[in-house]
A and B are shown apart, each in its own frame.
Chain A
Amino acid sequence: EPEVTQTPSHQVTQMGQEVILRCVPISNHLYFYWYRQILGQKVEFLVSFYNNEISEKSEIFDDQFSVERPDGSNFTLKIRSTKLEDSAMYFCASIMGIAKNIQYFGAGTRLSVL
């Protein structure tokens, strides 16, 4: 069964450094998402992406965050200058289309900011 792949599984970085989290959505999917889960808390929506542009973003997704789909297969989340509070699990998800309503999640990337 096709799946969403995220790399790396665990990323450790120093505060102030830039990180890029990578995702390979399911190949025929058109809509892409990033969610965040701080340890022990609920999963929160960050951003949705369609047709090479952001469809919606939450208040969490400030100017430090950016997303892009550089080559038609990867979908990346960049955090420009990481803060301690960015430490969390980051999930990528994808969906085929509006009528196909199941979001498939990757296994997540655990980001630890020291």
Chain B
Amino acid sequence: AQTVTQSQPEMSVQEAETVTLSCTYDTSESDYYLFWYKQPPSRQMILVIRQEAYKQQNATENRFSVNFQKAAKSFSLKISDSQLGDAAMYFCAYRITNFGNEKLTFGTGTRLTIIP
């Protein structure tokens, strides 16, 4: 079974600084997707960034980027120029690409606090 591990239950960062959230996963599949979702206090799940396993290039979305290490099964999220609005729970998630098996498997989350 696939598992996703987030070893940092809480992280904090000064506003405008950079922070990296860690995620590792375990799978025997070669083709899959990885995601970071943000859950602010409103508890809505918002997609931050995604990475296809077959792509070697790391995904970036504005201030958000990932460091995808397929051999190490590591998928960390880097947030640059942290803003107060980035404060939230961040969940790493995994999904295989087989037809009919589209479910997401989530990690336990990292609570990110932004210090003004």
Contact = CB atoms under 8 A, between A and B. Distances in A.
Say whether A associates with B: yes
Interface of A: 31, 33, 35, 37, 41-45, 48, 50, 55-56, 89, 91, 93, 95, 98, 101-108, 110
Nearest to B46: A105
B103 A43 contact: no
Nearest to B6: A42
Interface of B: 33, 37, 42-47, 50, 52, 91, 93, 95, 97, 99-109
A95 B97 CA distance: 13
Contacts of A102: 47, 50
14 contacts: A33-B103, A35-B104, A43-B106, A45-B104, A45-B105, A48-B103, A55-B101, A56-B103, A101-B50, A102-B47, A103-B104, A104-B47, A107-B43, A107-B44
Contact of A42 (B95, B102, B103, B107): B107
B76 to A, nearest CB: 18
Contacts of A110: 43
Nearest to A33: B103
Given A31-B102, A48-B102, 13 more contacts: A42-B106, A42-B108, A43-B91, A43-B93, A43-B106, A45-B104, A50-B100, A55-B102, A91-B45, A95-B102, A98-B102, A101-B50, A103-B102
B23 to A, nearest CB: 12
A50 B103 CA distance: 12
Contacts of B52: 101
Contacts of A105: 37, 44-46
A102 B47 CA distance: 8
A9 to B, nearest CB: 10
Given A101-B33, A101-B50, A44 B106 contact: yes
